[in-house]
Amino acid sequence: MPEQDGADGLDQRRRKLEDALAARNLSEREARDAKKGSGAGSGFGNAFKLSGEFIGGIVVGIGLGWFFDRLFDTSPWGLIVFLLLGFAAGVLNVLRAAGRVAEFGSQAPKDGDGGPQSK
């Protein structure tokens, strides 16, 4: 009879494990579906965010250049220089927001530290 108890206990443990795995798979599926559902509008949101980052850099550059020209009477050189700096800042902001460039002050992995060059 002890062998029968062992088989029943094993059967119960197997059923508990199957139920736990089914619940976990269901919750993972629900989380994945929720993420997919929010992804439809996130493309437009991301586009507006990136364009805002770019245009913001240019507008700030123009504003600083105009102020610099009025303050020091260097028209149009301040506007030209700060417009170019604003353009560069806008491009850098877009690259940072898109995740293509690391934030200022963060350490990039070096060779041998798990970077792409280490083998």
Is residue 89 within 8 Å of 61, Cβ to Cβ?
Answer: yes
Q: 20: helix, coil or strand? A: helix
Chain centroid offset of residue 109 CA: 18
pLDDT given for residue 32 in this prediction: 74
Read off the pLDDT of residues 80-98 as tens digits, 9 standing for 90 and up. 999 999 999 999 999 998 8
Residues of the chain with pLDDT under 50: 118-119
Residue type at 23 in one-letter notation: A
Ranges of each domain in the chain = 2-97
**Phi/psi at 58 (nearest 5 deg)?**
-70, -45
pLDDT given for residue 60 in this prediction: 97
List the structure tokens of 17: 């494990």
